[in-house]
Chains A and B, each alone.
Chain A
Amino acid sequence: METTVKVQQVSKSFGKKTVLSNVNLNMEKGQIYGLIGPSGAGKTTLVKMLVGMDMPDEGMVEVLHTPMPSLTMLQHIGYMAQSDALYNELTGEENLRFFAAMFTMGKAEQKERIGYAADLVNLKDELGKKVSAYSGGMKRRLSLAIALIHNPSVLILDEPTVGIDPELRQSIWNELTRLKNDEHKTIIVTTHVMDEADKCDMLAMVREGRILTRGTPEQLRQQFRANSLEEVFLQAGGKQS
């Protein structure tokens, strides 16, 4: 197994508030890595550092053996932010085309990737519509499509399925699993939905900027002698308060 994302002794504070302290994580190729933890735990902050949009105060982040931030690495990272950042005046297709143009790819490939990404999130028929006329879930799906547009080998998704109906959610997770198995991508997902966490190969529980515990979903359940991840979450959350 190849370690594709490495987080070493990372600490970060905003002003006086410490948001991450001494975080160590290793994520492997062909793995879905889940980050769970209460709101405000520092998941988004951590994930942003993987993309190089934030710098750790201490420690370092490596993606594909390259220290971040790195412009060349961004070509291989797909990022979906927690809040949709879309150009509302433009249509879905124009949004996809614009972001595709930010990456190096040929005209034909661009067309093919737009088709693939739109198909995956079931937006093919809505591509001509302006984003301002999209529903919340449609916007979320378009964000996901944009994250996938350049066929990245590391996929970082910050709460990707919020506002997406169960049927589509299942098809998205099926696709993530396929990407992991067939294309050996590294996928990092933050989520508050425990049955999604169950589908991850590895989980890390973040709380108040620390990694509380990590392991496969099965290992976590055993460690906390719990029947479900829901219980693990509640127990781990209550342990220190």
Chain B
Amino acid sequence: MRIRALIRRICEQLLRDKRTLALLFLAPLLVLSLMYYLFNHTGNASDAKIGVVKLNPQIIELMNQQGMNVVSYDSADKNTLVKDKLDAVIEMQEGGIHLILKNNDPSQSKALQMRISQATSALSEMTQEQGNAAAPKLSLTTEYVYGSADTTFFDTLSPILIGFFVFFFVFLISGIGLLRERTTGTLERLMSTPVRRGEVIAGYLAGYGIFAFLQTVIVVLYATLVLDMNLAGSIWYVLLTNLLLAFVALSLGILLSTFASSEFQMVQFIPIVIIPQVFFAGIFPLDHMATWVQVIARIMPLYYGADALKSVMYKGLGFSDIALDLGVLFAFAVLFILLNILALKKYRKL
């Protein structure tokens, strides 16, 4: 009953605060889109203009399918490339492929290289399956463990980004929301009613939890459906991981608001508590770093969240592989919630 009233009040408050709503629901999408175009533009081979010489029509077909602009020449060299503003020239020679790259944009070149090698290897497989043993063996071959020739830096980064945005915005809004209650005295006022401390925390978790849940769903759906981010595993595990992460952020935000006496001081927690988590969450591989760096990473909730998200979204792993990460996130949430109930003793000893 009391918890329901608390939830209702938080919803009423938040729904009237249009700016906060926008921050919660639109800002992550906006920033995510910007990052997406930023990272994806460089290293994108799909709109490349490519000159081909004597190339197998099947390969040309494959390249067309990938959206490349293929132009056929009888012969071409570096001069043709510059003159016709091509990104690359591919020439079929004896037993192999000769590739000329303009290399204006190294990451695009790399992507092109990957595309072409993928196309040629696919072709050799095809011809071999047809029992055509005499088919020319093509010398460009590459193998991928995870991902594909589509892989960009962003694909490895996007799971971390999704986790980060969910964590950051939920942390900020729940933290500042509760801080406002502390500074305006309404929390103290609330504690002069017979409400239990556990009920207050439960109410806040559920009330802000509703919004955190919505935000998580929107961000994940937008990232996978609209931005078409790489999603190798199940979307349900992505949602589950993000929800746990949101709960950790929620309880941490509420907890840290205890130690802030103004909105400004709450914002000061961002460089201390949030930013380091981004760097330790796997943007830089930590495997070969000093032990103390790895120890620090392991006390950060985002490390586990990002690890689980990367496992699902990029590597396509299943529940058993992320169970440990999820367990640790759950433990973080429980710990912060208990600390929150304890911290409310500041207002009332019971």
Taking beta carbons and an 8 Å cutoff, which residues of A are in contact with B? 51-53, 55, 69-72, 74-75, 77, 79, 81, 83-90, 94, 97-99, 101-104
Given contacts A71-B196, A103-B194, contact A89 B2 (CB under 8 A): no
Q: Residue among B2, B16, B192, B349 with the most chain A CB within 10 A?
A: B192
Q: Is B185 touching A94 in the complex (CB atoms < 8 A)?
A: no
In angstroms, how far is the closest chain A Cβ from the Cβ of B179?
14
| Chain A residues positioned under 8 Å from B127 (CB to CB) | none
Interface string of B165-208 (1 = CB under 8 A from A): 00000000000000000001110111111111000000000000
Taking A53-B347, A83-B185, A101-B2 as contacts, is the C-beta distance between A90 and B9 under 8 angstroms?
yes
Write the nearest CB–CB distance from B299 to chain A, whole angstroms. Answer: 33
Which 3 residue pairs of A and B lie closest in terms of their CB atoms, listed nearest first? A101-B5, A85-B185, A85-B189
Interface presence of B348 (CB below 8 A): yes
The residue on A at minimum CB distance from B194 is A74
Closest to A132 in B: B16
Nearest Cβ on chain B to A62's Cβ, whole angstroms: 15
Q: How far is the CA of A90 from the CA of B5 in the complex (A)?
A: 13
**B-chain residues with CB within 8 Å of residue A102 when the two chains form the complex:** 2, 5, 190, 193-195
Q: For residue A187, give the distance in angstroms from its CB to the closest CB of chain B.
A: 16
> With a CB–CB cut-off of 8 A, which chain B residues contact A97?
5
Q: What are the interface flags for B1-45 relative to A under an 8 Å C-beta threshold, 1 for contact and 0 otherwise?
A: 110110011001100110000000000000000000000000000
Q: Which of A51, A90, A98, A103 has the most CB of B within 10 A?
A: A98
What separation, in Å, do the CA atoms of A119 and B191 have in the docked complex? 26
B145 contacts A by Cβ under 8 Å? no
Check B226 for interface membership: any CB of A closer than 8 A. Answer: no
Total interface residues on B, using CB and 8 Å?
26
Enumerate 29 A-B pairs (CB-CB under 8 Å) in ascending A order: A51-B192, A53-B192, A53-B348, A69-B348, A72-B194, A74-B193, A74-B194, A75-B194, A79-B192, A81-B189, A84-B185, A85-B184, A85-B185, A85-B186, A85-B188, A86-B186, A87-B13, A87-B186, A90-B9, A90-B16, A94-B12, A98-B5, A101-B1, A101-B4, A101-B5, A102-B193, A102-B194, A102-B195, A104-B194
